Structure 1
Amino acid sequence: MSDLNEIARSKDLPSSAEDGAESAKRRQILEGARQVFLARGFNGASMGEIAKVAGVSKGTLYVYFESKESLFEALTLEERQSLAEVLFKLDAEDPDVRAVLSKLGDSYLRYMGRPEHISSIRMVVGAAEQFPRLGRSFFEAGPCQGIARLKAYFDRQVEAGRLSIEDTGVAAQHFLDLCVSGLMRRQLFAVGGPPTEAEIRKNVENAMRVFFAAYGPGVQKH
């Protein structure tokens, strides 16, 4: 938001109502960009089409975002950070760790299996070789945020004696990978649709069994 503040200052805009209008316009642009990127992919999207779908002039679009890359990066950061806040809102004091992780696994797998999420991953992978910063931004705003939040939750559970983990960061990655095991790879290659209720339930159950076999309370470490 610092860039927008600089824009506002350069135009001598008031800091209350005008800032609200700036924020609303920015959200309008991001929503238009999201629609175009999902429909066209990163390489197929153009700033002209994004401006049209967002309902703004091309000149206005460039006031907020200097390039397609910066627009995509901003969209990625906002959406992934919001997602992490919603999915990984974990109660560290809840003593029923199995219930907490089961709920997380279910919601995480449901989101990861959404067609628009799969499209986003394909789009980022396709653009990352040409624009490595896009891949890094996507990774840091999404997977890294989720792992960090789950790691913090595991740290508290280890302190409380509810889990036995030496490296909580690795354990967080293990749990999330176990949840999506097999299903996400299938979708990335367009083999079958989103996971069914039965597949979600089975994957989460398997993830819980393997995770607690490795990290449950009292498990001996070598």
Structure 2
Amino acid sequence: MTMSPQLQDLSTSDDGFADTPKRREIIDGARQVFRAEGFDGASMGQIAQAAGVSKGTLYVYFQSKEDLFHALVVNDRREAAEHMFQLKEQAGRLETREMLCQLGESFITMMVRPEHIALVRMVMGAAEKLPHVGRTFYETGPCLGIRRVSEYLAREVEAGRLEIDCELDLAAGHFLNLCQGNLIKPQFFCSEKPPSKEEISSTVESAVTVFLRAFGPSAEHS
């Protein structure tokens, strides 16, 4: 999988702008307005008011509503990436099953956060008009997750703890999709309460069992 510049930037550095308190205040204000009004309904005046700045100050930091929306997506995806797929410190110290369970639970816990669900809805609503924003979200979300899981799976294959006979990106996608089970779609369409920790653990444990039956050592296939 080839990463775009946006994906590389998110995983290694900031988004190219100075991260000042004022800029964070503007993004926080924009988040409130975009969630309440959607992209089309939001105005720069409303965002300036929510952020507690003048429109002149707002335009110093962002040339347009489109630029501000893109910055919001990049900012939120960076924060999500910092909490998901934290593999380096624990990988190698845990059994494969335990590591996959922790990985899956971290992933789903982030996915069902109300603020994440709200961001996905905002991006989906604006993606047709702002396809570059949709692409940024996809590459700094699903693509980044698959890349990090693939790197972990590669180490497990090399150590002989997994036997994967397909592309590692495909296997990583299988794992993440299995972990979602029936937990994610109701959040998008039904406005349900986030699943409990117990529900997440149960779903992920089942996903790991299925994954290991497909790709675990030969003894787990029987």
TM-score under structure 2 length normalisation: 0.83
Q: 1:169 Cα deviation (Å)?
A: 0.8
**Aligned residues between the structures:** 205
Alpha-carbon spacing, 1:167–1:95, altered in 2? closer, same or farther (3 Å): farther
2:36 to 6, 19, 39: 39
Q: Corresponding residue for 2:58?
A: 61
Alpha-carbon spacing, 1:146–1:123, altered in 2? closer, same or farther (3 Å): same
CA offsets per residue over residues 30-71 of structure 1, 9 Å max, x none? 121122222222222211111111111111111111111111
Q: 1:213 Cα deviation (Å)?
A: 0.8
Alpha-carbon spacing, 1:104–1:195, altered in 2? closer, same or farther (3 Å): same
> Residue 76 of structure 1 contacts residue 141 of structure 1 at CA under 8 Å; is this kept in 2?
no
Q: Corresponding residue for 1:217?
A: 217
Does residue 208 of structure 2 align to residue 208 of structure 1? yes
Alpha-carbon spacing, 1:3–1:144, altered in 2? closer, same or farther (3 Å): closer
Counterpart residue type for residue 144 of structure 1: C
Alpha-carbon spacing, 1:2–1:118, altered in 2? closer, same or farther (3 Å): closer
Q: Corresponding residue for 1:79?
A: 76
Q: Corresponding residue for 1:152?
A: 151
Greater alpha carbon shift after TM alignment, 194-203 vs 136-145:
194-203
Does residue 139 of structure 2 align to residue 132 of structure 1? no
> Residue 85 of structure 2 contacts residue 106 of structure 2 at CA under 8 Å; is this kept in 1?
no
Gaps of 5+ in 2: 1-13
Structure 1 segments, 4+ long, off by >4 Å, are: 1-4
Alpha-carbon spacing, 1:59–1:219, altered in 2? closer, same or farther (3 Å): farther
Gaps of 5+ in 1: 5-18
Q: 1:219 Cα deviation (Å)?
A: 7.4
> Partners of 1:73 and 1:2 in 2: how far apart?
10
SS of match in other structure, 1:66:
coil
Alpha-carbon spacing, 1:54–1:191, altered in 2? closer, same or farther (3 Å): closer
> Partners of 1:164 and 1:180 in 2: how far apart?
23
Q: Which has the larger radius of gyration?
A: 1
Alpha-carbon spacing, 1:220–1:183, altered in 2? closer, same or farther (3 Å): closer
Alpha-carbon spacing, 1:219–1:60, altered in 2? closer, same or farther (3 Å): farther
